[in-house]
Amino acid sequence: MIPFSAVGVCRASQAVDLFPNVCPDVVVREARIEDCWEVAETHCSTFFPKYSFPLDLMLRINRLVGMLSGFSVPNGCTRTCLVAVIGSSVDNLFFGNGEFIKVGGFEERFSFNKRYVAGILTVDTMADFLPRKGPLRQRRTGIAYISNVAVRERDRRKGIAKRLIAKAEDQARNWGCRVIALHCDVNNPGAVQLYKGQGFKCIKVPERVNWPRPKTSPNVQFNFMMKLITTLSAT
């Protein structure tokens, strides 16, 4: 699996499943190189839905280039992008005008418009949006951070966001993290309710303390939310 970078706008989901139904056809897995365009499309259609051509295409290309060029992470840190894949697309066939394209030595059908990815989520241990510790401002360890949660409009209310969050928690446990954190727009009650329902709690930021926050409009206010996650005991 290839971890993707979380570049550009970094924020918790603007579009979540407030009243989800069961969706048994969904498989949540780590993103692969062939998922790049689908991840970029899902991200931009969720966070920038009102942009039209050519700006919408430029945003998608920028996101795509950012993912392909941003594989490196600081020493001791890790990052991955999770995708929720629906239906028959889990067999990794990519149909594109009946033509095959060789990718990494494998013949796979590839399309920019397949739209088989229903949702995305990035989880990392880079601590970019967590307060540094000590006089040397060192990165915090043992805390995973969720960002860029997005579910396509047609696939909402199917429990996909919950499935992504649960998978992110599993990944954080595998990394040895004891806490998972995120930022959520205070004016998005659906997202706030979703995360609280998943066990996240709002953390009060001390007054006059300049904690790092996602790069977005200065008018957007965030709740900083955290959740303790149990570590799987050895058997």
| Amino acid sitting at position 65 | V
Q: Which of 149, 166, 175, 161 is nearest to 231 (CA)?
A: 175
Known catalytic residue at 145:
no
3 state DSSP class of 67: helix
> To the nearest 10°, the Cα dihedral for 56, 57, 59, 61?
170
DSSP string, 42-54: HHHHHHSTT--TT
| Amino acid sitting at position 143 | I
51, 116, 145, 195: the catalytic one is 195
Sign of CA pseudo-dihedral 112, 114, 116, 119: positive
The residues pairing with 79 across neighbouring beta strands, listed in sequence order, are 124
What is the C-alpha to C-alpha distance for residues 117 and 87, in angstroms, rounded to an integer?
10
Is residue 40 within 8 Å of 70, Cβ to Cβ? no
The single-letter DSSP state of residue 215 is S
Q: Catalytic site residues?
A: 195
